[in-house]
Amino acid sequence: MTPDLPGSRRYLYMLCALAACTACLVLAQAELLAGLLTGSVALTLPIAALAARALLLWVQESMSVRFAASAKQHLRTRVLRSAMESPGAQTTLVTRGIDAVGPYLTGYLPQMVISATVPLAVLVRLFIADLTSALIIAATLPLIPVFAVLVGKHTTRQTELQWDLLSRLGGHFLDVVRGMETLMLFKRAGAQARIVREMAVQHADATMRTLRIAFLSALVLELVATLSIALVAVPVGLRLLNGSVDLQTALLVLLLAPEAYLPLRAAGAKFHAAAEGVAVLKNVLTFKEKTPKAVVLTRPPDLRTATIALEGVTVRYPGRTEPAVRNFWLTVEPGERVALIGPSGAGKSTLLSVVLGLTKPTEGRVLIGGADLREVTGWHECLTWVPQQPWLMAASVAENIRLADPQATDVDIERAAQAAALDVCVDRPGRELSSGQRQRVALARALLRRSAPVVLLDEPTARLDTRTEQAVLTASRKLLAGRTALVVAHRPALLPETDRVVRVG
């Protein structure tokens, strides 16, 4: 199973060619060793055959390692581009999961190709040399794959369970770490630690079960192979004693018989190391890669004359049955300031995020002067945005404001901070600010971007006392003047600054 991995076809052809060479060398080595022991061949030839086998093995291993590295890179990209609901499970899959594919591609797969070639070549040679031994091997050889398949089916189920447990553990652990502060606040951290411990124990149990099966199966395969070789060796020895077979043939049979069983035994052993990789590959195969459509990107039109239109926009967040926004229509004329109002959770912030291009509508589209937003490049240069929960980097307030305009001077920054009613020293670390102050940092950033013709404001007067609200209103008025704007407003204070009120939800 090499699911449309780049270069997989070539890799398989190369493996087949190498397996054919290995089969020839196995036969040659046995013939030459038998010849050496009967005194008809010089020592150098068997040594040359052994060296050639070692060289083939080296070529195959280095080729496998190279292929596995590029395949893992491809799989990682595929997983990262797919839409997985749990980031924790995605992280486990991208790291530990994809690494487990290595033993499958470098060990099990090449061994399977050798198992399909070498035993066949050995059997054909033995049919020519000694029919009785060939018949015994032909009768006992299928026992190894039969036992391997029986045990393998059980292993596959166990490994899939083990993998499922590991990825659930990874996802849950990440969620717990993210919510640690809240969990500690509600004194639920201990309970979560217990759950994580229980999941880890379940995973450890599943791993031990898989290992137990691996050891048992290795024992069964060894036993079958050893008994089968004994079934060939004992009659050959007796026939050699009574003279019905010559020494050269007897030695050839004794040297070739283990070679017939060895590849299948090795494949059985490698199957267990590769089982986790197979489970991961099956998992990755179910992913739908979000392949971007090839689109011709256009620059945004002149927003002094272009409208912004939301046409039948519906947004469904992953894992949610109810849409956050359903079939929303709105046209914002150039220079128009529209207020979005509605109950909490109606989807106002989601709509701003759709206009920003950060959230893709599940249905419907956003048109900028008639051009689909998905085909517009450089849209963010036309925007200035005050989000509900602004992100501040670990730097001073001044540096955080400067993000909006890297060329801004210290005076510009001071002015923007004052205009946004930000009454803190701009040298203070941004991380120390309250949520109301953070929002005013975002407002200061927006004020600094004087050239952006479109403004998106999300609750700029939330979390403020009356005096600061008045100062922020003045700043917002400055910001909105002469620009197209979408303003999310819970409180009526900002409504007089807008031209039209649209109810959401």
Ligand X SMILES: Nc1ncnc2c1ncn2[C@@H]1O[C@H](COP(=O)(O)OP(=O)(O)OP(=O)(O)O)[C@@H](O)[C@H]1O
Q: Give contact residues for ligand X (rule: CB under 6 A).
A: 317, 320, 324, 342, 344-350, 388
Q: CB 485: neighbour CB atoms within 10 A?
A: 24
Residue 306 or 352: which CB sits closer to ligand X? 352
**Shortest distance (Å) from residue 340 CB to ligand X:** 8
Residue 343 or 482: which CB sits closer to ligand X? 343
Residue 214 or 313: which CB sits closer to ligand X? 313
**Shortest distance (Å) from residue 337 CB to ligand X:** 18
Residue 186 or 317: which CB sits closer to ligand X? 317
Sheet holding 484-488, edge to edge: 383-386, 454-458, 484-488, 337-341, 500-503
Residue 346 or 367: which CB sits closer to ligand X? 346
**Measured CA distances, 322 to 12, 137, 235, 317, 346 (Å):** 47, 64, 75, 8, 11
* 371 DSSP β-pair partners: 368
Tokens representing 267 are 């494949």
In SS3 terms, 52-112 reads as HHHHHHHHHHHHHHHHHHHHHHHHHHHHHHECCCCHHHHHHHHHHHHHCHHHHHHHHHHHH
**Shortest distance (Å) from residue 324 CB to ligand X:** 3
CB-count exposure of residue 354 (10 Å: 0-12, 13-18, 19+): buried
Residue 162 or 350: which CB sits closer to ligand X? 350
**Shortest distance (Å) from residue 351 CB to ligand X:** 7
In SS3 terms, 427-485 reads as CCEHHHCCHHHHHHHHHHHHHHCCCCCEEEEECCCCCCCHHHHHHHHHHHHHHHCCCEE
Residue indicated by tokens 């910001």:
479
CB-count exposure of residue 130 (10 Å: 0-12, 13-18, 19+): buried
**Shortest distance (Å) from residue 318 CB to ligand X:** 7
How far apart, in whole angstroms, are the C-alpha atoms of residue 283 and residue 263?
28
Residue 334 or 364: which CB sits closer to ligand X? 364
Residue 58 or 317: which CB sits closer to ligand X? 317
**Shortest distance (Å) from residue 317 CB to ligand X:** 3
**Shortest distance (Å) from residue 96 CB to ligand X:** 27
**Shortest distance (Å) from residue 458 CB to ligand X:** 7
Tokens representing 421 are 């009613």
Tokens representing 445 are 């950033």
